[in-house]
A = this chain, B = another copy of it.
Amino acid sequence: MKSEKKAVVLLSGGLDSATLAYYVKAQGYEITAISFSYEQRHKIEMVAAKKISSLVEVREHVWIQTNMTAIGHSSLTDSIPVPKGGRNMEKENHIPLTYVPGRNLIFLSYAVALAESREIHEVFLGINSLDYSGYPDCRPDFLASIQKTSELATKAGREGRPIRIHAPLIKLTKKEIIEMGLQLGVPYEYTWSCYDPKKKGDVYFPCGECDSCLLRKRGFAKAFSPDPLKSMKEE
């Protein structure tokens, strides 16, 4: 049966956005997923995003290609080394090296444009203010402001049917996200978190040491559940 409820979901292929997609689906929404190919180092993320969008049965999966390296200055897109061993996360409100300038602003702009174009009024993104307190564009005040901006930037918003931006994971810990995902049946073996994977042939292995690997590891440990991801194969 086709759902009347429609949502745009930002899908990176990571643990958070996969959990988000399953959560949105469980709320009865038909999903239009949007993902980005921006020359990120961890391209295996894209394989994960495709797998998740297929398993969660999205209505449409829109891929945006963009050369974000032209903007640069992040260890996720440049040749700056990815920080290891949690040093990147030490200070509260310190902005990490892995912060990509304006990334969520750019991603949300596309998501809002897509929603406007498809006449969808709900946009979901998996940002989290606890794990990424250092990223300026993962905080609740940013979210409230982009909500207002998107109302003014769109035909829908001007006509009194604003596009609403939802970040249901924003206050959850990684443990809570994983617990929720396990209840929802998220296939975590097809989610990718590592910023700095090792590659053998066409198989990628998480480094286990970058911030993102450490957060994931702690999350599964606290949820008393094994991480089903060992490696992921290129398409």
Interface residues of A (CB under 8 A from B): 62-68, 70-73, 95, 99-106, 108-110, 112-114, 116-117, 136-137, 139, 141-142, 145-146, 148-150, 152-155, 157-158
Take A72-B117, A136-B158 as given contacts and tell me if A153 and B102 are in contact as well, using a CB distance cutoff of 8 Å: yes
Take A64-B66, A148-B145, A155-B95 as given contacts and tell me if A117 and B101 are in contact as well, using a CB distance cutoff of 8 Å: yes
Take A65-B66, A142-B153 as given contacts and tell me if A109 and B113 are in contact as well, using a CB distance cutoff of 8 Å: no
Take A102-B112, A112-B105, A117-B71 as given contacts and tell me if A141 and B152 are in contact as well, using a CB distance cutoff of 8 Å: yes
Take A65-B66, A117-B101, A155-B101 as given contacts and tell me if A142 and B136 are in contact as well, using a CB distance cutoff of 8 Å: no
The closest CB in chain B to the CB of A150 belongs to: B105
- Total copies of this chain within the assembly: 2
Take A66-B64, A66-B65, A71-B117 as given contacts and tell me if A105 and B101 are in contact as well, using a CB distance cutoff of 8 Å: no
In the complex, chain B residues whose CB is within 8 Å of the CB of A101: 113-114, 116-117, 154-155
B62–A70 CB distance below 8 A? yes
A154–B102 CB distance below 8 A? yes
Q: How far is the CA of A66 from the CA of B69 in the complex (A)?
A: 12
